[in-house]
Protein backbone atom coordinates (compact mmCIF):
# COMPACT_ATOMS: atom_id res chain seq x y z
CA UNK A 1 0.00 0.00 0.00
CA UNK A 2 1.13 3.52 -0.70
CA UNK A 3 1.90 6.08 2.02
CA UNK A 4 2.67 9.78 2.18
CA UNK A 5 4.88 11.65 4.62
CA UNK A 6 4.83 15.38 5.16
CA UNK A 7 7.64 15.82 7.67
CA UNK A 8 6.81 19.39 8.66
CA UNK A 9 3.69 19.88 10.78
CA UNK A 10 4.09 23.67 10.87
CA UNK A 11 6.19 26.07 8.83
CA UNK A 12 6.49 29.83 9.30
CA UNK A 13 7.63 31.96 6.38
CA UNK A 14 7.98 35.72 6.09
CA UNK A 15 5.81 37.41 3.53
CA UNK A 16 7.73 37.74 0.27
CA UNK A 17 10.10 34.90 1.09
CA UNK A 18 10.28 31.67 -0.85
CA UNK A 19 8.50 28.51 0.27
CA UNK A 20 9.14 24.80 -0.05
CA UNK A 21 6.85 22.20 1.49
CA UNK A 22 8.13 18.67 1.56
CA UNK A 23 6.30 15.52 0.54
CA UNK A 24 7.74 12.00 0.35
CA UNK A 25 5.80 8.97 -0.78
CA UNK A 26 6.21 5.25 -0.62
CA UNK A 27 5.02 3.27 -3.62
CA UNK A 28 6.52 0.62 -5.87
CA UNK A 29 6.04 2.52 -9.13
CA UNK A 30 5.45 6.08 -10.27
CA UNK A 31 2.21 7.19 -8.70
CA UNK A 32 -0.22 9.97 -9.38
CA UNK A 33 0.64 12.91 -7.10
CA UNK A 34 -1.46 15.83 -5.87
CA UNK A 35 -1.19 18.94 -3.72
CA UNK A 36 -4.28 20.43 -2.10
CA UNK A 37 -4.73 23.53 0.05
CA UNK A 38 -7.29 24.05 2.81
CA UNK A 39 -8.17 27.40 4.36
CA UNK A 40 -9.67 27.27 7.87
CA UNK A 41 -13.20 25.88 7.92
CA UNK A 42 -13.26 25.19 4.21
CA UNK A 43 -12.91 22.27 1.84
CA UNK A 44 -9.77 21.25 -0.01
CA UNK A 45 -8.80 22.99 -3.23
CA UNK A 46 -6.58 21.33 -5.82
CA UNK A 47 -3.34 23.24 -6.41
CA UNK A 48 -1.70 20.94 -8.93
CA UNK A 49 -1.24 17.32 -9.94
CA UNK A 50 1.30 15.09 -11.63
CA UNK A 51 0.24 12.14 -13.74
CA UNK A 52 3.11 11.81 -16.24
CA UNK A 53 5.41 13.83 -18.49
CA UNK A 54 7.27 16.95 -17.41
CA UNK A 55 8.37 16.49 -13.82
CA UNK A 56 7.96 20.20 -13.02
CA UNK A 57 4.27 20.93 -12.66
CA UNK A 58 2.73 24.37 -12.58
CA UNK A 59 -0.40 24.99 -10.54
CA UNK A 60 -2.74 27.73 -9.48
CA UNK A 61 -1.84 30.72 -7.28
CA UNK A 62 1.79 30.69 -8.44
CA UNK A 63 2.64 27.27 -6.98
CA UNK A 64 4.76 24.62 -8.63
CA UNK A 65 5.94 21.15 -7.65
CA UNK A 66 8.72 18.92 -8.86
CA UNK A 67 8.50 15.15 -9.03
CA UNK A 68 11.83 13.49 -8.23
CA UNK A 69 11.65 9.77 -8.76
CA UNK A 70 15.08 9.08 -7.24
CA UNK A 71 14.05 10.76 -4.00
CA UNK A 72 10.40 9.66 -4.01
CA UNK A 73 9.50 13.28 -3.46
CA UNK A 74 6.99 15.80 -4.75
CA UNK A 75 7.87 19.08 -3.03
CA UNK A 76 5.69 22.16 -3.41
CA UNK A 77 7.33 25.54 -4.02
CA UNK A 78 6.43 29.17 -4.39
CA UNK A 79 9.00 31.91 -5.06
CA UNK A 80 7.27 34.64 -3.04
CA UNK A 81 4.68 33.94 -0.36
CA UNK A 82 1.68 36.20 0.21
CA UNK A 83 -0.20 36.51 3.48
CA UNK A 84 -3.22 34.91 1.80
CA UNK A 85 -1.19 31.70 1.33
CA UNK A 86 -1.52 30.94 5.05
CA UNK A 87 -3.41 27.64 5.12
CA UNK A 88 -2.91 23.91 5.52
CA UNK A 89 -1.37 22.02 2.63
CA UNK A 90 -1.93 18.33 1.88
CA UNK A 91 0.05 16.05 -0.39
CA UNK A 92 -1.73 12.97 -1.76
CA UNK A 93 -0.75 9.90 -3.79
CA UNK A 94 -2.58 7.21 -5.74
CA UNK A 95 -1.49 4.25 -7.89
CA UNK A 96 -1.24 5.04 -11.60
CA UNK A 97 -3.26 2.09 -12.83
CA UNK A 98 -6.68 0.68 -12.21
CA UNK A 99 -8.87 2.41 -9.67
CA UNK A 100 -7.83 3.48 -6.24
CA UNK A 101 -8.60 6.10 -3.67
CA UNK A 102 -6.13 8.81 -2.72
CA UNK A 103 -3.85 8.51 0.30
CA UNK A 104 -3.27 11.84 2.01
CA UNK A 105 -0.41 13.06 4.14
CA UNK A 106 -1.21 14.58 7.52
CA UNK A 107 -0.74 18.10 6.24
CA UNK A 108 1.60 21.05 6.79
CA UNK A 109 0.26 24.24 8.33
CA UNK A 110 1.79 27.32 6.73
CA UNK A 111 1.98 30.49 8.78
CA UNK A 112 3.00 33.74 7.10
CA UNK A 113 4.62 36.44 9.20
CA UNK A 114 4.60 40.11 8.20
DSSP calls for 38-51: E-TTS-EEEEEEE-
Complex with other proteins: residue 18 or 58, whichever CB lies closer? 58
Which position among 41, 52, 54, 70 is part of the footprint of other proteins (CB under 8 A)?
Answer: 41
**Angle, vertex CA 71, rays to CA 25 and CA 77, nearest 5:** 80
Smallest separation, CB 63 to other proteins (Å)? 15
Helix (H, G, I), strand (E, B) or coil at 35: strand
**Angle, vertex CA 58, rays to CA 91 and CA 94, nearest 5:** 35
Q: Is 52 in the site for other proteins (CB under 8 A)?
A: no
Binding region for other proteins (CB under 8 A) out of 20-28, 54-62, 72-80, 101-109 = 101-109
Decide: 92 and 105 in contact? Cβ < 8 Å: yes
Smallest separation, CB 79 to other proteins (Å)? 25
Q: Is 26 in the site for other proteins (CB under 8 A)?
A: no
**Binding footprint of other proteins on the chain (CB under 8 A):** 32, 34, 36, 41-46, 49, 90, 94-102, 104-107
Amino acid sequence: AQSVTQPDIHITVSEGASLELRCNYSYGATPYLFWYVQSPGQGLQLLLKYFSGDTLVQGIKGFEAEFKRSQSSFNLRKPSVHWSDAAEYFCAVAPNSGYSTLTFGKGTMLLVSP
